[in-house]
Amino acid sequence: MLPLVARRLASAIPVLIGVSLIVFLMMRLLPGDVAQLILSDWGASRDQVEQLREQLGLNDPLWLQYYNFATRALQGDLGRSVHTNRPVLAEVLSQFPSTIELTLAAIGFAVLLGVPLGTIAALRHNSALDNSSMLISLVGVSMPSFWLGLLLIFTFSLTLGWFPATGRGGMERLVLPAVTLGFIAAATIARLVRSSMLEVLRQEYVLVAHAKGLSGWAVIWRHAMRNALIPVITIVGLQFGNLLAGAVIVETVFTRPGLGRLTITAILGKDFTLVQGAILFTATVYIVVNLLVDLSYSFIDPRIRQS
Amino acid sequence: MESLVHPAVGAEEGKGPSEGVLSGTFRRLRRNRAAMGGLILLVLLVTMAIAAPALAPYDPIKVAPSESIKSPRAPHWLGTDQFGRDILSRILFGARVSLRTGLISVGIAASIGVVVGLFAGFYGGWVDIAISRAVDMMLAFPGILLALCISAALGPGINQVMIAVGIAGIPTFVRMVRASVLSARENLYVDAARALGASNLRIIGLHILPNVVAPVIVLATLSLGWSMLNAAALSFLGLGAQPPMAEWGAMLSTGREYLRAGWWITTFPGIAIMLAVCSINLLGDGLRDAMDPRLRR
């Protein structure tokens, strides 16, 4: 197990370096002068622009800029926000718990809806139930999350008054954002569970279990489900990353504090150090989660452990 | 025994190299009712977009304060927004923007992705390693984040969104094409072509590329829906289409503040996005099933 962990860790490091390089280069590929863009709304003089360029290290060669950026990032220093002058890492960490809370709630909802929906669709293959489940799933993956969020706000908040539409705090403010974010993931999970379950139900060991006289539910729970859920666990882990990115939109719709809303505000406010830090942080969390999913997959599926 | 005959060669005599596979694909696609439904809906959408100047009853960007936030009824069948602009007209013109954005984004992703994937898969070695590592790094950005990052660098605007979503789509095409090429280059007909003195470019163009066309078409179709959704999302966030342009995502964004007073301002553009992406997904799923080599035999 340890060599496997070491190998996965070793393969994640170059990806992390590459991601930091991409984020760094993106912000340097901006058309026009970065310092001038930041100060464009303030009517700054040429001296002030030059001062900001020096402050941000923009006069150094590109390789030196990246070296300084990377070494500081490894020490937890992602620079300072251009507008608030607060450390970027502090800004990001202050918003992170809200995003994690939303993402975890969304995953919970996605699994609670997606797994039963996909299982029922597989067990009632080619029936009206199967077709309806897959139609819901198709609508789910085709629907823009921001539109779903607005529909839920209109129905459950403005019309019925069951849940608040905005902000953070308490379970009631988490329901609508989590359902919005999780619904699309539920649709993807349902499709995957259905195809995985159909594949497993065709296997000979399932036939043998039936032949042995086991009840339908016993066959499903003890034999089919466990094997059908192996690829689903991978997808749930990968969906975590998509949900983390999708939180950008949902936090904006529900005016909810979080990493996503911080990123958008930073982009629109041309706070490039904050944009750089927020995107790098989000991508790093995604890579770490993928690594953990990869390792857990090896743990759950003994065939991978033995290989 | 490995075949020396190009797999795209049809079984019937007198037919071109790809006609056998293509006619079989269209036959299987025609039998898939869901895919045909998606195709019909997509054709309707494209027709609406092309004919928008003729179909739209009003100018999509002309402001009419006296008609502000009118509910759906004659003469504004889908209502008006906060500036008195006809929602139906804006949806029709928005179809042009959304479809164009999706097509150009996919065009960027596919054209660059196919070329890079072809080279990575065919030449192998350090070229393949360098390209594969670059793709891994781009795919390390989840969902919309890469498009968001590029959008942040380029600034707001619909053209910038096309480029951002297009670049974000490149890694998927590279990976898929590379995998197809790795499989195709092992075929005997490739060795035979090389033995006959064909150059690498000729081999790639005449023998490798036909094997890649089918999966690229499927991926391009499915990517169109993804691109349209992401472009609409970036416009919703204020990074894409700028006012007063009629674009579905931007319409949802501006309509947000009027949800209680004018639910139609956000509902109908959302339905338009959903129907467009749904039709594309149905068609893409159908194409994928129709081109499945296991069903061809």
Tens-place pLDDT, residues B213-229? 888 988 999 899 999 99
Q: How many domains does chain B have?
A: 1
Q: Residue B152 is nearest to which of A19, A242, A267, comparing CB atoms? A: A267
Looking at residue A121, its pLDDT comes to: 86
CA distance A278 to A270: 13
Tokens of B110: 């596919």
CATH number of the structural domain spanning residue B270: 1.10.3720.10
Q: What mean pLDDT is predicted for residues A31-53? A: 74
Cβ-based neighbour number of residue B22 at 10 Å: 17
Asked if residue B3 has pLDDT above 60, the reply is: no
The answer to whether residue B16 sits within a structural domain is no
Q: Residue B252 is nearest to which of A19, A22, A146, comparing CB atoms? A: A146
Asked if residue B12 has pLDDT above 60, the reply is: no
CA-based nearest residue in chain B for residue A159? B260
Dihedral angle of Cα A104, A108, A113, A116, to the nearest 10 degrees: 140
Q: What mean pLDDT is predicted for residues A189-212? A: 79
Asked if residue B296 has pLDDT above 80, the reply is: no
* Contacting residues of A for B270, CB less than 8 Å apart: 143-144, 147, 150-151
Asked if residue B29 has pLDDT above 90, the reply is: no
The minimum CA-CA distance between A37 and chain B, rounded to whole Å, is 10
Looking at residue B294, its pLDDT comes to: 57
The answer to whether residue B195 sits within a structural domain is yes
CB spacing of B277 vs A241 below 8 angstroms: no
**For residues A237 and B281, which has the higher predicted lDDT (pLDDT)?**
B281
CB spacing of A158 vs B260 below 8 angstroms: yes
The answer to whether residue B7 sits within a structural domain is no
CA-based nearest residue in chain A for residue B282? A138
Looking at residue A25, its pLDDT comes to: 85
Dihedral angle of Cα A200, A202, A206, A212, to the nearest 10 degrees: 170
Q: What mean pLDDT is predicted for residues A186-212? A: 80
The answer to whether residue B200 sits within a structural domain is yes
Asked if residue B297 has pLDDT above 50, the reply is: no
* Contacting residues of B for A272, CB less than 8 Å apart: 152
**Residue A300: pLDDT band by 50, 70, 90 thresholds?**
low
Longest Cα–Cα distance of chain A, Å, equals 85
CA distance A139 to B131: 35
pLDDT tens for B133-174 read 889 888 888 778 888 888 888 888 999 999 999 999 999 999
B198 contacts: CB under 8 Å, gap ≥ 6: B206, B207
Residue listed under structure tokens 């070494």: A71
Please give, one letter per residue, the 3-state secondary structure of A55-108: HCCCCCCHHHHHHHHHHHHHCCCCCECCCCCCEHHHHHHHHHHHHHHHHHHHHH
CA distance B286 to B278: 12
The answer to whether residue B69 sits within a structural domain is no
Percent of chain B with pLDDT over 90: 52
Cβ-based neighbour number of residue A128 at 10 Å: 8
The answer to whether residue B238 sits within a structural domain is yes
**For residues A163 and A293, which has the higher predicted lDDT (pLDDT)?**
A163
* B145-154 helix and A2-28 helix, angle to the nearest 10 degrees: 20
A142 close to B (CB below 8 A): yes
Q: Which domain holds residue B121?
A: 25-59+76-295
What are the residues facing B86 on neighbouring strands? B80
Query: Hey, of B139, B145, B281, which one would you mutate to test binding to chain A, going by the most A CBs within 10 A of its CB?
Result: B145
Count of positions (residues) in chain B = 297
pLDDT tens for A235-288 read 777 788 788 888 889 999 999 999 989 998 888 888 888 988 998 898 888 888
**Residue A79: pLDDT band by 50, 70, 90 thresholds?**
confident
Q: Residue A245 is nearest to which of B144, B255, B273, comparing CB atoms? A: B144
Taken in order A175, A181, A184, A185, the sign of the CA dihedral is: negative
**Residue B6: pLDDT band by 50, 70, 90 thresholds?**
very low
Q: What mean pLDDT is predicted for residues A220-228? A: 70
**Residue A140: pLDDT band by 50, 70, 90 thresholds?**
confident
Q: Residue B149 is nearest to which of A14, A15, A26, comparing CB atoms? A: A26
Peptide bond into B142 cis (omega under 30): no
A156 close to B (CB below 8 A): no
Tokens of A128: 């009206």
The answer to whether residue B265 sits within a structural domain is yes
Q: Under a CB-based contact definition with an 8 Å cutoff, are residues A297 and A234 in contact? A: yes
CB spacing of A249 vs B144 below 8 angstroms: yes
pLDDT tens for B72-96 read 998 999 999 999 999 999 999 999 9
Asked if residue A176 has pLDDT above 50, the reply is: yes
CB spacing of A142 vs B278 below 8 angstroms: yes
Looking at residue B82, its pLDDT comes to: 92
CB spacing of A147 vs B278 below 8 angstroms: no
Looking at residue A32, its pLDDT comes to: 64
Mean pLDDT, chain B, integer: 86
A130 three-class SS: helix
A10 close to B (CB below 8 A): no
CA distance B117 to B264: 45
CB spacing of A144 vs B233 below 8 angstroms: yes
A154 close to B (CB below 8 A): yes
Q: Residue A19 is nearest to which of B141, B232, B237, comparing CB atoms? A: B141
Mean pLDDT, chain A, integer: 83
Q: What mean pLDDT is predicted for residues B33-51? A: 93
B254 contacts: CB under 8 Å, gap ≥ 6: B81, B82, B243, B265
B110 contacts: CB under 8 Å, gap ≥ 6: B169, B173, B216, B219, B220, B223
CB spacing of B233 vs A145 below 8 angstroms: yes
The answer to whether residue B45 sits within a structural domain is yes
Looking at residue A92, its pLDDT comes to: 93
Looking at residue A298, its pLDDT comes to: 66
**Residue A214: pLDDT band by 50, 70, 90 thresholds?**
confident
Count of positions (residues) in chain A = 307
Q: Under a CB-based contact definition with an 8 Å cutoff, are residues A146 and A249 in contact? A: yes
A159 contacts: CB under 8 Å, gap ≥ 6: none
Query: B164: closest CA among B178, B149, B179?
Result: B149
Tokens of B89: 């007209």
* Contacting residues of B for A144, CB less than 8 Å apart: 229, 232-233, 236, 249, 252, 270, 273-274, 277
pLDDT tens for B199-214 read 888 888 888 888 888 8
pLDDT tens for A151-168 read 999 999 999 999 998 888
CB spacing of A145 vs B134 below 8 angstroms: no
CB spacing of B256 vs A150 below 8 angstroms: yes
A246 close to B (CB below 8 A): yes
CB spacing of B273 vs A147 below 8 angstroms: yes
Asked if residue B109 has pLDDT above 70, the reply is: yes
Query: Which residues of chain B are at the A interface, by a Cβ-Cβ cutoff of 8 Å?
Result: 133-134, 136-138, 140-145, 148-155, 225, 229, 232-233, 236-239, 249, 252-253, 255-256, 259-260, 263, 266-267, 269-270, 273-274, 277-278, 281-282
* Contacting residues of B for A282, CB less than 8 Å apart: 142, 145
CA distance B10 to B7: 8
Looking at residue B8, its pLDDT comes to: 39
* Ramachandran angles phi, psi of B86, nearest 5°: -70, 125
